[in-house]
Structure 1
Amino acid sequence: MRDLLLRQPDDGTGHARAPRLRRIGPEGLPASLDALLAPPETDLAASRLWYDTTCRVALPPGTQAMLAEVGPPGTMVVPLLMQDGRIESLTTPYTLRWRPLTAAWAGAVALERAAAELGELLRGRPPTLFRAMDSDDTLLLPLQAGLWRAGLWSRPFAHFGNWHEALPPGLRWADYVAAREQPMRSTLMRRRRRWEDETRIDLLTEPGAALEKGIAAYIDVRARSWKAAEPSPAFDPALMRGAAAAGLLRLGVLRSRADGRPLAAQYWVVSGGQAALLKLVHDEAARTLSPGTGLTAAMVAALIAEGVAGIDLGRGDDGYKRFWAKSRRQRIGMLIADPRHPAGMLALARHAAGRGWHRLRGIVARGETGEGPA
């Protein structure tokens, strides 16, 4: 039971306080968290839409979604996953960004206190991994300070790259294309007429029969694409339906004009003024047409015309992304370990060895002698 329900000490009345660590049931996050959650149109990654969809259809096998409530009431709630006594962030291969849920009014002192209580909950356990964190998040300093107060060590690590680009007001598609690298400009000019002659695009944003047809097309194209099987096949359709209901979905399907067969599909979610690309797929048999590039061009053009403030190309450093977006930021993870726990000591040693090896490789690659700072 310790791994399922931790209670605070008796409050002097003979009654235990509310649970510190509790399960998230199939109904999703409790209503009591609404004050800490963001509206999906403001921040999809911190919204009920994201977490409820994840908990319903995307949890890794054998895991249980949990909530750690720490600090003064309403200060910080940490969405977590538990498996065999191990705890980590409630993240999946679909997660774009994760952080503890915190009150807007909470300052650094309150957040550090809450993080210290989180550290007390994690102390004496195997190492914890937090993933998909923003390296510029102001929460990182009080979080690490609080964990240190609790006797835990935290060490950052690189998780995945995220390509993005701000789009200034009044930007035109022609201006955007002119700012691309020459190979991309050439491809767009060379293929434009063929895309116009041989394909058409369905842009779907609202719930209903047309959206269901578009989701079916996405699933069909994905089955004919180069991608490996989805870890959670129900996630993308569920998120598309939820985003459409919230008015945030932009699903594009590129079809053959000759027979209507879908050749490429991708979906974006517009939140906080940014358009984030969640998934894109194309039919490998049609790759001589470059259907994925044609659809991305059409979708980005539509988003620019809509007036979004920026585009975000999601997880990873896929080679095509630098042609569509100019900036890269690093999403990080955090190893949290108790140095008095055998597994924690080993994890910290491995982390230090890994950093030393990467630093040495950098020195060798740059031809440095090792004298002075690397």
Structure 2
Amino acid sequence: MNSEYHDNFQSAQAEAGEMLGRSGQKSLFDRMDWLKQLHELCLSDNQPLIVRSTEKDAQAWMFLMKKRFGNYTALANWYNFTYRPIFVGALDEVNKLALLASVAKMLRSFSHHIEIAPVPEEDSVASLTERAFEQAGWVVFKSKADDNHILVVNGRTFDQYWAERPGQLRSTVRRKAKKNIVSIRVETEFSEEHWADYCDVYSKSWKPEEGSPDFLKSIAKQEAAAGCLRLGLAYIDGQPVAAQFWTVENGEALIHKLAHVADATKSSPGTLLSAAMFQHVIDVDRVNLIDFGTGNDPYKREWMEDVRTRYRLTMYWPNNPLSWLPILRYQMSALVGKR
């Protein structure tokens, strides 16, 4: 088994080829184009550390970034629904564990403290990562990082799904739609005009200033070119009042961003737009799952039915004195919590 590291995306991309591209990775967040743009446009102040372990045709990759004093974190931010080690090849759990343990061993030369989140537990990846690092000698603490609200469609039509929504939500949509004030469109292609409308809504909404509008626009263009963009826009008297940025791929719809103009709240354009977007991805795109990302905003419970936990893994290399006090603090906290 061989391990190597890269401190830049150019050399990593040369090694990865298409294995970390759209054809090789199902998840948007596991692809080189996402990670590279995220670093360039959002996280460029942090030196990347990209570690790969290989065994024949099987590979495990881990994308981290340096913080300070030997601390590394996941190369991820608030745009990520998930962060996890990335595997290449047809691997069972034993192979994944061995490859990831090899990555963890190499990381001992770079860092005494690594923290990654939001790690999913689908396919047991959070537990697998925990075990691999422990196998390599790290002390690992696993904790809850966030919640992920989802809807499993289970073959329902939109009408069937909608009949199961809370009565107040259905009543709001029915009443506001009757007034015929709000017009809605769902765009699948990127245009500067529609993106300007999206940005206009966001700037006039209750949301804080966009962290990296250039990154979001780049992803929108990229996903539109692949046929995956779903940009929802609502208008009143020709003016944009609500906007939503979704992507659809591999039977899953991801809700990346949504906002509405505060002054238009009484017309419920955001709610009407959400209903139209759900109808489109369920009846037209025929997705199996809709993912509302991380966060526990109350309105998500009206639209979604299940919640998945996202985890934080905090790893310390115990042979480094800088790790001793943090390890002790975590252990003491765990003991207090058990009382």
TM more than 0.5: yes
Deviations 1:171-229 (A, max 9, x none): 333222210122212222222213xx21212221123xxx2111111111111111112
Retained in 2: the 8 A contact 1:115–1:144? no
Supply the distance in 1 between the matched residues of 2:80 and 2:52 (Cα, whole angstroms).
21
Deviations 1:22-51 (A, max 9, x none): 123479833534225453894222223422
Deviations 1:276-298 (A, max 9, x none): 10000111111111221111111
Q: Check if 1:161 corresponds to 2:166.
A: no
Deviations 1:143-193 (A, max 9, x none): 333322321011111111111111132x33322221012221222222221
Supply the distance in 1 between the matched residues of 2:184 and 2:96 (Cα, whole angstroms).
48
Residue in structure 2 matching 1:178, options 163, 178, 186: 163
Per the normalisation by structure 2, the TM-score is 0.89
Retained in 1: the 8 A contact 2:182–2:234? yes
Supply the distance in 2 between the matched residues of 1:100 and 1:30 (Cα, whole angstroms).
19
State the superposition RMSD in angstroms: 2.5
| % identity of equivalent residues | 26
Change (3 A) 1:280 1:27: farther
Q: Which deviates the most, 149-158 or 71-80?
A: 71-80
DSSP 3-state at the match of 2:124: coil
**Deviation of the 1:232 alpha carbon:** 1.8
Retained in 2: the 8 A contact 1:29–1:52? no
DSSP 3-state at the match of 2:150: strand
Question: 1:36-47 counterparts in 2 under 5 A?
Answer: 36-39=20-23, 42-47=26-31
Supply the distance in 1 between the matched residues of 2:200 and 2:317 (Cα, whole angstroms).
47
Supply the distance in 2 between the matched residues of 1:355 and 1:163 (Cα, whole angstroms).
27
Unaligned runs of 5+ in 1: 1-7, 9-16, 361-369
Q: Rg larger in 1 or in 2?
A: 1
Supply the distance in 2 between the matched residues of 1:270 and 1:284 (Cα, whole angstroms).
28
Supply the distance in 1 between the matched residues of 2:316 and 2:125 (Cα, whole angstroms).
19
DSSP 3-state at the match of 1:55: helix
Q: What letter matches 1:263 in structure 2?
A: V
Retained in 1: the 8 A contact 2:189–2:224? yes
Task: Give the aligned partner of residue 88 of structure 1.
Answer: 73
DSSP 3-state at the match of 1:113: helix
Retained in 1: the 8 A contact 2:231–2:246? yes
Q: What letter matches 1:30 in structure 2?
A: A
Task: Give the aligned partner of residue 242 of structure 2.
Answer: 264
Retained in 1: the 8 A contact 2:82–2:120? yes
Unaligned runs of 5+ in 2: none
DSSP 3-state at the match of 1:78: strand
Supply the distance in 1 between the matched residues of 2:25 and 2:102 (Cα, whole angstroms).
31
**Deviation of the 1:312 alpha carbon:** 1.0
Q: Check if 1:189 corresponds to 2:185.
A: no
Query: Quick check: which one's strand share is greater?
Result: 2
Per the normalisation by structure 1, the TM-score is 0.82
Task: Give the aligned partner of residue 274 of structure 1.
Answer: 252
What is the number of equivalent residue pairs in this alignment?
A: 335
Q: What letter matches 2:312 in structure 1?
A: G
**Deviation of the 1:339 alpha carbon:** 2.4
